[in-house]
Structure 1
Amino acid sequence: MRLRTALCLSLAALATLAQGAPPDLLVPPAEALRTPGGVTYRVIQAGRGGTSPGPRDFVRAHLTGWGPDGATFIHTRSLDEAPYLSLERLMPGLRESLQAMVPGEQRRIWVPEALAFAGAKGRPAGTVVMDLELLDSVPDPSQAPPDVAAPPPDATTLRSGLAFRVLKPGSGTAHPARPSWISVHYSGWTTDGKLFDSSLKKGTSVPLQVKGTIEGWIEGLPLMVVGERRRFWIPEKLAYRGASGMPQGMLVFDVELMGIAPN
């Protein structure tokens, strides 16, 4: 059941720190604009360019929201990292607003009740105000990438048979080592396009030790820096080696390195 109020993560859990309500909470400024769907907004900071999210994408964004009484109902900046959220599961006004943004953009939006919580029990009634910052977006992992069957010509293939392609450059300079503890987001498919696991659907990244993963990850993760996203094609001998109950054959993973724990 799709909930209009679902933000993938518990709003109560995210609203751990009360944030001072903005001075224009009740009355949008004169320069505010209006979306076709009826959301009032103003751009706080222009984005750095790039592609706006598609209707089924997962977005990584920071959200802070207030009800008409000024009470904070969501504040993701209290978390260690911005969560990934499925656009399909967001309330209509938030979904429309994020789809109109580009990475790096920040907006303040005034969402009328019909496009917000629509009278849902335990949620703010009336117009809600939210500050949004769109950091990134990725396609719905339920839809396998078009090159899942085999590495494309522009992929790099190592002597081991591991192939990869950089999907997004990182901003860091340090690389994890075999003993390193890291946090990653990932999605994994078999070569026939079946998704067998994805951290995106959970919203939060996964902590792991590099040396405790499959051989293809042990070889590939140390090539990455924080913020980087790569697609790996991992031969069966570097994956689960035909183990019962595990995905079989060559596997394809999209991996984003979110952080490296200090030694």
Structure 2
Amino acid sequence: MPAAPADVAAPPADAITSPTGLASKLIEAGTGTENPGPADTVTVHYSGWTTDGKLFDSSVERGKTISFPLNGVIAGWTEGLQLMVTGEKRRFWIPANLAYGENPRRGAPAGMLVFDVELFEIKKAPEPPPVPEDVAAPPADAITTASGLASKVLSPGNGSRHPKATDQVEVHYTGWTTAGELFDSSVLRDEPVVFPLNRVIAGWTEGVQLMVGGEKRRFWIPANLAYGTNPPPGAPAGMLVFDVELLDIL
């Protein structure tokens, strides 16, 4: 079991504290020259203690490193790991507001937390797909159906079969608002998605049926075929623009 640091109770005088209140101290210099970005995936070993010296989690104790995207963890980790380079070991004193809070969810530790972290690897996040030049409205060469769905083939496919509404399809996609704001992308996650065509927004159900395997197409989906002008929380409003690549029809 990793022993609690002698300075676990509070940051020592030689710790560096950021404007957010995150304190850290270099334990061992690294060999790398590049810091991870906020969306990069890192591989680390770590041990975490409460300020009374109680060990509450440790990948070291489990004997297995852990990998995660920096934008998917507590704020203190997102900020702190960006200070590091590969091969480096650093100790962090993370205040409650950058961790799990003073009244955390069940099973999570409360208050300031102390972590020793060793950074092994940085996997850079993919660059966001560029915003289409015609994102604001369908161009003159787009084809518009009776429902108001507009689309344009970006690259032809190599298949001959169109999916039916009841088929499952595998796609890569990126979605923007007409202001050019990217709101979702399987390309950024590097994870294609599989779904039945009759279980998505109407614009997708109609539009993907126009495609063949291997095809890439851009869609301008009006609000009434997307999430509406007053969508549920977290969903984008108004006309949406999607670039879709049909990888497979299942």
* TM-score when normalising by structure 1: 0.47
Rg comparison, structure with higher value: 2
* TM-score when normalising by structure 2: 0.50
